[in-house]
Amino acid sequence: MKEDQEETDDMMFEQIMNKIGSRGKFQKRFNYLFNMFFVMLASMPYYNFVLAMAVPDHWCHVPGRNGTNYTLDQWKEITLPREKDTAGLLSFSKCKMYVGKDWADVTSSGLTPTDHGLQKHDVTSK
């Protein structure tokens, strides 16, 4: 009995909404804007984790490149040793560089921790 009353109330409400225009310009615009705003707000906390956990590509800064014609990749090949990273891939060392002033003969050089800070990959340079 009560269910029948609720069904008729729902049907009456639908009929009234259809007569006055339930899918007008305002309702469409309001629904799109409200839903887009909600999705952006709801997704922000998840993107915060992604942004906070991202580590930019970085390596030891080895001074002296300005006096040469080497590109950044060539300079890294000459001055930085390669090591296995956490994923097991071979990459440039993050904190060690070759010792010595003769960059052409890196085999005779040892390794040392960086004294000149770190250099990071600048995305805007590409």
Judged against a pLDDT cut of 70, whether residue 27 lies above it is answered with: yes
119 with 94: CB under 8 angstroms? no
Compute the CA torsion angle 30, 32, 37, 42 (nearest 10 deg): 120
Containing 15, the helix (H) or strand (E) segment is helix 2-20
pLDDT tens-place string over residues 61-108:
888 788 888 888 888 888 888 888 888 888 888 888 877 655 555 555
Q: How far is CA 51 from CA 39, 41, 45, 85, 123, in A?
A: 18, 16, 10, 21, 15
- Cα distance between residue 92 and residue 11, in whole Å: 69
pLDDT reported for residue 18: 82
pLDDT reported for residue 9: 83
pTM of the model: 0.47
pLDDT reported for residue 125: 45
- Cα distance between residue 27 and residue 25, in whole Å: 6
pLDDT reported for residue 70: 87
Q: Is 58 helix (H, G, I), strand (E, B) or coil?
A: strand
Judged against a pLDDT cut of 70, whether residue 120 lies above it is answered with: no
